Structure 1
Amino acid sequence: MPLRLPPLPALRFFEAAGRHQSFKLAAAELNVTPSAISHGIVGLEQSLGVELFVREPRGISLTTAGADYLSYVSEAFSLIAIGTQRLPNHRANRPIALSCAPTLASRWLLPRLAAFRARWPDANVTVDTSHRQVGFPVDGFDFAIRLSRAPVAGTAWTRLFGERLVPVCSPAYVDNLRDAHGNIDLRHATFIHVNSASEDWQAWFDGVAIDGTATDGIDLNDGLRVDTIQLAFEAASMGLGVALGRRPLVDCDLASGALVEASPHTIASSTAYWLVSAQNTESAANRPELSDFKRWLLSEAEPFTNPSDTADAESHGANH
């Protein structure tokens, strides 16, 4: 007698909602409405006779039974994805799929992709910059580039490079910050903050410890606030204030003269960019272009690696 399975669409809704801990994010990933996710999961709960999520005004969370069930459903989808990928001719002309933050993609990755295509003209690359978690191999991605302090268990991580933080502004704006002796005084600056950044101005002031007091005479609660690093750089180039530059992302603006350094002090970020992939990746014999792409990406990242960095080049962790 064949096993009776719950409706597969409802299981897909459950897996995405459980992974994101959000009906809204699951809906965005699966290109359906949050209402469809909610109704699908209610139907699944009724079919199973068990509550999978706790609904609260501030959001949802998995019940104990839901968390246990999610581990089985996630593994099942992973097995289906792996089996599909191993079918004969399934890989024909399949691009290398990479998930990457938009600012890193536009300012560091894309300018280098022409060199990769020139060397491997038959290897196509797809870059996804949506802000969402990636499940390997269920979501069909081969790699992701993530900014994190350290790896977490579950997937394979390879360190690319860290950032260096330095204040930047337009050439005209920096002249307005100079005192009678020609020195730059940041106490007269409008600070441009990035709401989504894991490290912002407080980290820089703490790192350089100006005059022995990190924020002496400066109120870091004031200033202009934006939601992306790209927007912060654009605002700074328009003379709206001083942004916290993140090298190498800001290097092209410094090279062109659109931005200049507003301080000689730079500090190393406590986070780094990591290349993330599934732990059980396919062999190079099945998809040699994946190994080629990884080696190429590491070679491109090498010039930006600080020699004083002590982090291991290879680690294992979870998608972040």
Structure 2
Amino acid sequence: MPLRLPPLPALRFFEAAGRHQSFKLAAAELNVTPSAVSHGIVGLEQALGVELFVREPRGISLTVTGADYLSYVAEAFSLIAIGTQRLPNHRADRPIALSCAPTFASRWLLPRLAGFRARWPKLNVSVDTSHRQVGFPVDGFDFAIRLSRAPVAGSAWTRLFGERLVPVCSPAYLESLRGAHGNIELRHATLIHVNAASEDWQTWLDATGADGIETAGGLRVDTIQLAFEAACMGLGVALGRRPLVDSDLASGALVEACSTTVASTTAYWLVSAESADSRPELFDFKRWLVSEAEPFDMRSAATEPGSRSASN
């Protein structure tokens, strides 16, 4: 007797909505309307005779039954994806798919991809900077680069490097902060904050012991890239994140407003499915990326003269 399965489109809606905890984000990922996702899941709940989500004015959450069912559905889709990838000629001309943050992509990854292409000219790379969650291998991604304090269970995590935090601003703005005795007075600066950053000015201030600097005001932006651009325009002092800010420091567009650097408690990690190393092209890309990152990882190296490390 053939297996009786729920409607497969509805299961796809359920898996995406459960992973994102949002009908809207699931709809954006699947290129359908939120209404279609909602109606599909209602139909699935009716077919199964159970409630999969708790619907509240501020959003949705999985029920206990829904969370348990999601683990089976997600595993089933993963198996289908893995089986599809192993079909003969399935990977022919398929690019290596990578998800990462836009600032990391533009300031660190893209400038190095020419070197990868020179060594492996037949391998193409697709970079996605949409900030969406990635499920391996269901979403079609091979790798993701994520900022985290530690690896998360369920995927293979390889450390790339941590950031070093240092105040930066334009040369002209730095001169405006110079006091009567020639000293730079950060307490008079407009601080540029990144709203979404897990570590920002308070992290640097706590680690350095600097006092008299007010963090409540200042300019607030939503990306690291915007913070660097605002600093280049002379709008204030941003918290530079080395090596992402290195190109601006090298060109002179930005200068250090204080020489004291602080090691971040987070690091960039290369994340992949457990089976990624079995594919030669993915193994080569991973090995190349880790080798490119190695000179920037200060975890085991001594900090620079005059620098301080934040405790982990």
Fold shared, TM-score > 0.5 on shorter chain:
yes
Q: Secondary structure at the match of 2:276?
A: coil
Identity between Structure 1 and Structure 2 (%): 84
Deviates more, 1:274-283 or 1:219-228: 274-283
Q: Which amino acid aligns with 1:170?
A: S
Of 231, 235, 243, the residue aligned with 1:236 is 231
Written as runs of structure 1 = structure 2, the 5 A alignment for 1:9-24 is: 9-24=9-24
The count of corresponding residues between Structure 1 and Structure 2 is 302
Equivalent AA in structure 1 for residue 115 of structure 2: A
The corresponding residue for 2:35 is 35
Q: Say which SS state the counterpart of residue 16 (structure 2) adopts.
A: helix
User: 1:194-235 deviations in whole A, cap 9, x for unaligned?
Assistant: 00000010000001002xxxxx33321100000000000000
Q: Which residue of 2 aligns with 1:179?
A: 179
Q: Are residue 259 (structure 1) and residue 254 (structure 2) matched? A: yes
Deviation at 1:307, TM superposition (A): 5.2
What is the identity, as a one-letter code, of the residue corresponding to 1:8? L
Structure-1 residue corresponding to 2:138: 138
TM-score, reference length from structure 1: 0.92
SS class of match (2:138): coil
**Residue 296 of structure 1 corresponds to which residue in structure 2?**
288
Deviation, structure 1 residue 190: 0.3
In structure 2, C-alpha distance between the alignment counterparts of 1:271 and 1:205, rounded to whole Å: 17
- CA deviation after TM superposition for structure 1 residue 308, in Å: 2.8
Matches within 5 A, 1:271-310: 271-281=266-276, 283=278, 287-306=279-298, 308=300
Q: Which residue of 2 aligns with 1:268?
A: 263
Superposition RMSD in Å = 1.2
Q: Report the AA paired with residue 5 of structure 2.
A: L
In 2, distance between residues paired with 1:83 and 1:308?
40
**Amino acid across the alignment from 1:274:** W
- The offset of 1:78, in angstroms, is 0.5
CA distance in 2, matches of 1:149, 1:93: 35
Q: Which runs of 5+ in 2 are unaligned?
A: 303-312
Give the C-alpha shift of residue 281 in structure 1: 2.8
CA gap of 1:183–1:50, structure 2 versus 1, over 3 A, is same
Higher relative contact order (CA closer than 8 Å, sequence separation 6+): 1
Any gaps of 5 or more consecutive residues in structure 1?
211-215, 311-320
Indicate the SS of the match to 1:167: strand
Give the distance between the partners of 1:242 and 1:147, measured in 2 at CA. Answer: 23
- 1:127-166 to 2 correspondences below 5 Å: 127-166=127-166
Distance 1:42 1:246 in 2: 46
Q: Deviation per CA, 1:99-148, whole angstroms, max 9, x where unpaired?
A: 11110000000000001001110111111111111000111111110000
TM-score (norm 2): 0.95
